[in-house]
Amino acid sequence: MKPWCPRTGMVAGTIVLTCMVLLLPGGSGIWLAAGPLQASSSASPAATSLPLTERKQAARALYEHRCQSCHEEDGTGSLLRARVPQTPDFTNDRWQAMRSDPELIVSILEGKGTRMPSFRSRLSEEQAQTIVEHAIRSFAPHRELRGAPRVGDFGRQFHQLEQELANLQRQFRDLSETAKQP
């Protein structure tokens, strides 16, 4: 049973809480989130310092909990694609080669318009990065295509746009305050 079903909108509290801790070999575990359906404001504890196999297990658990209901267990997203043709097929080499990790992280955290919700309030940036690196990228049968050159530097451009937006917002506030003064 999936913890959240977009078709019914139902959440099973017991399953959600079970998904919050990933049990690792030896009976230890790591927290994937701070509570039900909400990511911790800080990154998951020592996630990047975990051994690779444990990072992969954590990524898989996050994918199952947050992504699988739309993108399916096999990453094809074929059921949703019948209604939303833009749903990506993570197993497609060409699709994988055309997207950088920062692009995918932004898509997860900010959403994709009306097609995909934002997960910023439910996942940290580190968790999104873990999903990209160890879940979404694992669906690519021919991983060598991922290293293909891409047009532009998305990460740098996105950061520049964020700075420009912050400056425009500051200018707007300043102008709004000036207009209010007699």
Of 4 and 53, more confident: 53
**CA–CA distance, 130 with 133 (Å, rounded to integer):** 5
What residues have CB less than 8 Å from 134, skipping those under 6 apart?
Answer: 55, 56, 58, 59, 60
Tell me: the pLDDT tens digits for 53-98? 888 899 899 999 999 999 999 999 999 999 999 999 999 988 988 8
48, pLDDT greater than 50: yes
Q: Name all domains of the chain by residue range, CATH numbers in brackets.
A: 41-151 (1.10.760.10)
pTM for the model: 0.56
**CA–CA distance, 154 with 156 (Å, rounded to integer):** 6
| Helical (H) or strand (E) element with 102 | helix 101-110
Tell me: the pLDDT tens digits for 106-129? 999 999 988 899 999 999 999 999
Amino acid identity at 6:
P
- 132-152 burial string, b = 16+ CB within 10 Å, else e? bbbbbbebbeeeeebeeeeee
